[in-house]
């Protein structure tokens, strides 16, 4: 009985809290988002940390949002080639995990790139795709409600 107690105590004491979990990724993403306009270097650093951790633990939703945050930094700097790269990866991940709200949002964001570039037909194409997902999920954000 004492041996069992000692062995279980060793096991419990030997376990440190696992920082590699989705809540840590989400905290990094929230912090990254809070720096998008004030400190882009910090926003990028935190989003990359979140992405690396999300990849390490297989948290694709966190990886999708890390790509979204990275793209947002570049979008605000009107660096649309970089933005497109990150948002396309985000879109791919959201679709892979069948996150329709994330897919709707990122399609809308990609549409915004095309609007900013004056490519209205492509912008409309992406915004309409976004709306189809929004209708499916009942998400009213892309509708401006």
Model confidence over 26-77: pLDDT tens digits? Answer: 999 999 999 999 999 999 999 999 999 999 999 999 999 999 999 999 999 9
**Taking phi first (over 0 means left), then psi (-120 to 50 degrees means alpha), and beta for anything else, what does residue 97 get?**
alpha
The answer to whether 123 and 115 are in contact (CB under 8 A) is yes
Tens digit of each residue's pLDDT (9 = 90 or more) over 10-25:
333 333 335 558 999 9
The Cα–Cα gap between 113 and 109 comes to 7
Query: What is the pLDDT at residue 18?
Result: 55
Question: pTM of the predicted model, to two decimals?
Answer: 0.82
Which backbone phi and psi does 19 adopt, to 5 degrees? -75, -10
What is the chain's mean pLDDT, rounded? 86
Per-residue pLDDT tens over the stretch 69-111:
999 999 999 999 999 999 999 999 999 999 999 999 999 999 9
CA nearest 75: which of 25, 30, 111, 120? 111
pLDDT of residue 138 exceeding 90, the answer is no
Nearest-5° Cα angle at 138, 27 to 114 = 70
């Amino acid at each position: 009985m004492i041996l069992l107690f000692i062995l279980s105590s060793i096991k419990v004491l030997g376990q440190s809290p696992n920082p590699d979990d989705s809540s840590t990724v989400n905290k990094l993403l929230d912090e990254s988002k809070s720096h998008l306009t004030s400190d882009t270097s910090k926003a990028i650093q935190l989003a990359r940390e979140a992405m690396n951790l999300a990849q390490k633990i297989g948290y694709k939703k966190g990886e999708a949002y890390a790509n979204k945050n990275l793209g947002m930094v570049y979008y605000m700097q009107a660096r649309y080639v970089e933005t497109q790269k990150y948002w396309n990866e985000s879109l791919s991940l959201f679709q892979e995990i069948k996150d329709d709200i994330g897919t709707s949002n990122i399609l809308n964001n990609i549409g915004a790139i095309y609007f900013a570039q004056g490519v209205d037909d492509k912008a409309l194409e992406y915004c309409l795709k976004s709306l189809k997902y929004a209708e499916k999920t009942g998400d009213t954000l892309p509708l401006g409600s």
